Amino acid sequence: MTIRPLHFLVTLVMPLVAAAQNTGTLRLLVDPGHNFEFVLDKQYRMQQREVKLGEGLHHFAFWAPERMIVDTNVFVIADRTTDFVLKLPYSPEYMQYRQELAKYETKRRVARTIPTVATVAGLFWTGVNVVKYQKVRQDLEKDQENYDINVDPGSIRTLKDQTIPQHNEDLRSARTGLYTSISFTAVAAGVTYFLYRRSARWERPTLNDKQKVLFEGLTWVPTRNGGFFHAGITIPLAR
């Protein structure tokens, strides 16, 4: 009988006490700014830029993708809005991932660019040789026409002894150059094709974000409709 009035009193007074507790606002200015999350007082996982908290010391564990978890305590002052500035450092895994990715992209770029440039150069070279070959062919055709219409035996002799043999030699030389450039272009094109196919199968580095796994331990995520427990599990699929 004596407990019932006390219980009633506590029930009546506690909300009033809670309402009367002083709160302060904490504005979170955290780099990267758009997608950071934090766990408040080791219990509540939240993703917002401003929190209203009761006065006193509160524990925060901040995290964002690709960044390190930063644990810190913040003292919230009642009836005041305080700016909390923090730059989350990049995680070592992410830095390593960036290095591996850069190495991978450089390797792939080199494997694709050099043979491609060689192929284009080969095509250009072939084009130049085709033009050269055509010119020598035209010279020989002119020689043939000149022979047919020439009425000067001396000129005909010069044509047959010097001009035509020289142009024949030029044609052979141009043909050799043409075949060389064609062979070079064909090899370069083949290597380009092969390296494109092969580099397409190269495994792209992936980010193993251990900080995320650590951060996503079992936490309570409050929402407007109550809240839920959030648990993270990591299954290593790579052998």
Partner 1 sequence: MRWITAILLVVVLHGCKKLEVDIGSLNTNPFDNDHTGAQFIRVDSVKCFPLGQGALHQQRLYIGLDPQLTAENDFELRLIELTVPDTTVYSNIADGATSVVLLNQQVTLGTEYCYLIDLKVGGGYLRNHRLNHCAVAEL
Binding site for partner 1 (CB under 8 A): 119, 123, 126, 130, 133, 137, 140, 143-144, 147-148, 150-157, 160, 164-165, 167-168, 171-172, 175, 178-179, 182, 185-186, 189, 193
Q: Which is nearer to partner 1, 23 or 116 (CB)?
A: 116
Angle at 152 between CA 151 and CA 153, to 5 degrees: 110
In whole angstroms, the minimum distance from the beta carbon of 199 to partner 1 comes to 15
Q: Which is nearer to partner 1, 150 or 234 (CB)?
A: 150
In whole angstroms, the minimum distance from the beta carbon of 61 to partner 1 comes to 54
Enumerate the H helices of the chain as residue ranges. 3-20, 92-149, 153-158, 164-200, 210-215
CB 108 within 8 A of CB 196: no
Q: Which is nearer to partner 1, 23 or 168 (CB)?
A: 168
Per DSSP, the three-state class of 197 is helix
In whole angstroms, the minimum distance from the beta carbon of 176 to partner 1 comes to 10
In whole angstroms, the minimum distance from the beta carbon of 222 to partner 1 comes to 58
Q: Which is nearer to partner 1, 42 or 160 (CB)?
A: 160
Burial of 235 (0-12, 13-18, 19+ CB in 10 A): exposed
Phi and psi of 51, rounded to 5°?
Answer: -130, 145
Q: Which is nearer to partner 1, 197 or 224 (CB)?
A: 197
- Count of CB atoms situated within 10 Å of the CB of 212: 20
In whole angstroms, the minimum distance from the beta carbon of 113 to partner 1 comes to 17
